[in-house]
């Protein structure tokens, strides 16, 4: 049985190809086998079948190369959001480069969809203590929701002091919907991505159930390449290899269980719903600085 409206969760997809998720330099992208549509249509059709609306954080590079995907998403009523342009981690960009990326991406996607884009997610959740300056630029460029901060610290990202709930950052004025987490073996893990594959499905299921019981909304995240087990295998650092390639064939059947068991909608819808029910608490950016 599905959870009630009170426990609405966000279903999010980072729309990028397999070679964007492995830290391959952009100069190498043109030489890789293009497979984004394989995984894209698997998740697109599943969402259609279960009548779930999701938020797609689109890489600007992908929007330029695959305008048909943006148009299909827009016609189907999904929310279009920004994943930046180059897939470079925010803390490796200068503020000027970051501003340029988000401006270009927002305009490209808005022109293709004819709809206003408000939400943003950084590649590799790379808004960290080193790159909190990006929030001000996002607000200045018309983004009202950010989904880039993880309360779980990993070798790539994370802010330990980040609340695990939707909140408003007062200056700059921007709503943060951080990565949702759960505890297991006295460690914190994320709802979605690699953890959806590394652990049995029941872990994610229990996490959403427990969070829902406590009145907390969850945000699930996934990528098209996680629905494409046959995509090329390239050598890389062991920890990156494990998070990228483990149990890719489990993603599609487990996502079907997930959308059967829980109620999902777009990031904007979940944020609006939360605002109506609870009101959003304000926190100062200093809290994130630790
Ligand atoms: Zn990404």
pLDDT in tens, 95-107: 999 999 999 999 9
Q: State the distance from the centre of ligand 1 to the C-alpha of 278, rounded, in angstroms.
A: 30
**Which of 53-67, 243-257, 264-278 is the most confident on average?**
53-67
CA dist 85 and 158 (Å) reads 21
Neighbours of 275 (CB within 10 A): 13
What confidence score (pLDDT) does residue 25 get? 87
Label residue 1 by pLDDT band (50, 70, 90).
very low
DSSP lists the bridge partners of residue 182 as 189
Residue whose C-alpha is closest to residue 151's, from 9, 10, 290:
290
Supply 276's token pair. 């109506």
pLDDT greater than 70 at residue 5: no
Q: State the distance from the centre of ligand 1 to the C-alpha of 160, rounded, in angstroms.
A: 21
What confidence score (pLDDT) does residue 125 get? 96
Q: State the distance from the centre of ligand 1 to the C-alpha of 277, rounded, in angstroms.
A: 31
Label residue 6 by pLDDT band (50, 70, 90).
low
What confidence score (pLDDT) does residue 2 get? 52
- What's this model's pTM, rounded to 2 decimal places? 0.96
Per-residue pLDDT reduced to its tens digit, 118-142: 999 999 999 999 999 999 999 999 9
Query: End-to-end distance of the chain based on CA atoms, in angstroms?
Result: 40
Q: State the distance from the centre of ligand 1 to the C-alpha of 87, rounded, in angstroms.
A: 6
Q: State the distance from the centre of ligand 1 to the C-alpha of 85, rounded, in angstroms.
A: 10
pLDDT greater than 90 at residue 163: yes
Per-residue pLDDT reduced to its tens digit, 201-250: 999 999 999 999 988 899 999 999 999 999 999 888 888 888 888 899 99
Q: State the distance from the centre of ligand 1 to the C-alpha of 1, rounded, in angstroms.
A: 32
Ranges of each domain in the chain: 5-289
How high is the mean pLDDT of the chain? 93
Q: Which residue has the higher pLDDT, 56 or 21?
A: 56
Task: Indicate the class that CATH gives domain 5-289.
Answer: alpha beta
CA dist 227 and 231 (Å) reads 9
What confidence score (pLDDT) does residue 185 get? 84
What confidence score (pLDDT) does residue 191 get? 94
Q: State the distance from the centre of ligand 1 to the C-alpha of 53, rounded, in angstroms.
A: 20
Q: Give me the mean pLDDT over the 33-60 stretch.
A: 98
Q: State the distance from the centre of ligand 1 to the C-alpha of 81, rounded, in angstroms.
A: 12
Q: State the distance from the centre of ligand 1 to the C-alpha of 279, rounded, in angstroms.
A: 30
CA dist 82 and 278 (Å) reads 27
Name, in order, each residue with C-beta under 8 angstroms of 269's C-beta and a sequence gap of 6 or more.
Answer: 8, 10, 53, 79
Give me the percent of the chain exceeding a pLDDT of 70: 98
């Amino acid at each position: 049985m599905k959870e009630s409206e009170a426990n609405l969760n966000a279903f999010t997809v980072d729309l990028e190809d397999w070679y964007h998720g492995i830290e391959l330099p952009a100069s190498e992208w043109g030489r890789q086998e293009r497979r984004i549509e394989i995984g894209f249509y698997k998740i697109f059709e599943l969402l259609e079948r279960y009548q779930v609306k999701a938020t797609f954080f689109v890489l600007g590079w992908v929007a330029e190369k695959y305008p048909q995907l943006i148009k299909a998403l827009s016609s189907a009523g999904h929310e279009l959001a920004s994943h930046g342009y180059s897939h470079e981690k925010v803390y490796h960009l200068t503020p000027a480069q970051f501003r340029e990326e988000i401006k270009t991406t927002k305009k490209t996607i808005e022109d293709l969809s004819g709809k206003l884009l408000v939400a943003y997610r950084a590649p590799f959740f790379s808004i960290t203590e080193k790159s909190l300056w990006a929030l001000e630029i996002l607000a200045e460029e018309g983004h009202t929701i950010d989904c880039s901060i993880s309360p779980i610290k990993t070798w790539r990202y994370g802010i330990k002091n980040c609340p695990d709930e939707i909140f408003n950052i007062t200056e700059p004025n921007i709503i943060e919907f951080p990565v949702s987490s759960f505890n297991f073996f006295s460690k914190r893990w994320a709802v979605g991505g690699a953890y959806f594959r590394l652990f049995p499905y029941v872990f994610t299921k229990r996490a959403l159930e427990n969070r829902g019981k406590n009145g907390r909304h969850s945000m699930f995240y996934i990528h098209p390449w996680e629905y494409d087990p046959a995509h090329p295998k390239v050598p890389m650092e062991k920890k990156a290899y494990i998070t990228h390639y483990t149990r890719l064939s489990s993603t599609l059947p487990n996502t079907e269980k997930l959308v059967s068991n829980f109620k999902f909608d777009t990031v904007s819808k979940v944020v609006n719903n939360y605002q109506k029910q609870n009101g959003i608490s304000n926190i100062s950016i200093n809290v994130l600085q630790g």
